[in-house]
Amino acid sequence: MKNFTSVHDVDNVQALVQDALSIKKDPYAFENLGKHKTLGLIFLNPSLRTRLSTQKAAANLGMNTMVMNLDKEGWALETEDGVIMNSNKAEHIREAAAVLGQYCDIIGIRSFPQLRNRDDDYNELILKKMINFSGRPVVSLESATRHPLQSLADLVTITELAPDFLNRKPKVVLTWAPHIKPLPQAVPNSFAEWMLKSDVEFVITHPEGYELAEEFTNGANIIYDQDKALQDADFVYVKNWSSYSDYGHILNSDKSWMLNNKKLYKTSNARVMHCLPVRRDVELASEVLDGQNSIVIQEAGNRVFAAQAVLKQLLMDNF
Ligand code: CP
Q: What is the pLDDT of residues 178-236, one digit of tens each?
A: 999 999 999 999 999 999 999 999 999 999 999 999 999 999 999 999 999 999 999 99
Could you tell me the pTM of the whole model? Answer: 0.98
27, 74: one domain: yes
288, 307: one domain: no
Q: Residue of the nearest CA to atom 4 in ligand 1?
A: 49
CA of 55 to the centre of ligand 1 (A): 13
Question: Does 209 fall in a domain?
Answer: yes
44, 126: one domain: yes
Q: Which of 29, 5, 1 is nearest to 15 (CA)?
A: 1
19, 109: one domain: yes
**Is the CB of residue 52 below 6 angstroms from any atom belonging to ligand 1?**
no
Beta-strand relationship, 106-110 and 38-43: parallel
**Is the CB of residue 140 below 6 angstroms from any atom belonging to ligand 1?**
no
pLDDT at 163: 77
pLDDT in tens, 233-246: 999 999 999 999 99
CA of 22 to the centre of ligand 1 (A): 23
pLDDT at 105: 98
CA of 84 to the centre of ligand 1 (A): 35
131, 40: one domain: yes
**Is the pLDDT confidence value at 156 over 80?**
yes
CA of 47 to the centre of ligand 1 (A): 5
**Is the CB of residue 29 below 6 angstroms from any atom belonging to ligand 1?**
no
**Is the CB of residue 166 below 6 angstroms from any atom belonging to ligand 1?**
no
List Cα–Cα distances, 277 to 120, 129, 134, 239, 297, in angstroms. 26, 28, 31, 10, 11
Question: Does 66 fall in a domain?
Answer: yes
CATH number for the domain harbouring residue 158: 3.40.50.1370
128, 237: one domain: no
Question: Does 2 fall in a domain?
Answer: no
Please state at what angle helix 148-161 crosses helix 296-318, rounded to 10 degrees: 120
**Is the CB of residue 53 below 6 angstroms from any atom belonging to ligand 1?**
no
Question: Does 284 fall in a domain?
Answer: yes
**Mean pLDDT to the nearest integer, 9-19:** 98
Question: Does 138 fall in a domain?
Answer: yes
**Is the pLDDT confidence value at 41 over 80?**
yes
Report the distance separating Cα 90 and Cα 214, nearest Å.
37
Peptide bond between residue 163 and the one before it cis (omega within 30 degrees of 0): no
128, 157: one domain: no
DSSP per position, 297-308? HHHHHHHHHHHH
CA of 208 to the centre of ligand 1 (A): 27
177, 293: one domain: yes
* Mean pLDDT score of the chain: 97
Ligand 1 pocket test: pick from 47, 53, 143 the residue with the most ligand atoms within 8 Å of its Cβ.
47
Say if residues 174 and 208 touch (Cβ distance below 8 Å).
no
156, 113: one domain: no
C-beta contacts of 250-256 below 8 A and 24+ residues apart = 250/179, 250/181, 250/182, 251/207, 251/209, 251/210, 252/178, 252/207, 252/209, 252/210, 253/178, 253/180, 254/178, 254/207, 255/178
Q: Residue of the nearest CA to atom 1 in ligand 1?
A: 275
CA of 73 to the centre of ligand 1 (A): 20
Question: Does 118 fall in a domain?
Answer: yes
Question: Does 274 fall in a domain?
Answer: yes
79, 203: one domain: no
CA of 185 to the centre of ligand 1 (A): 14
- pLDDT bracket for residue 164 (50, 70, 90): confident
136, 153: one domain: no
Question: Does 191 fall in a domain?
Answer: yes
Q: What total of structural domains would you count in the chain?
A: 2
For the chain, give me the number of helices (H) and strands (E)? 13, 11
pLDDT at 32: 98
120, 18: one domain: yes
> Range of 194's domain?
148-299
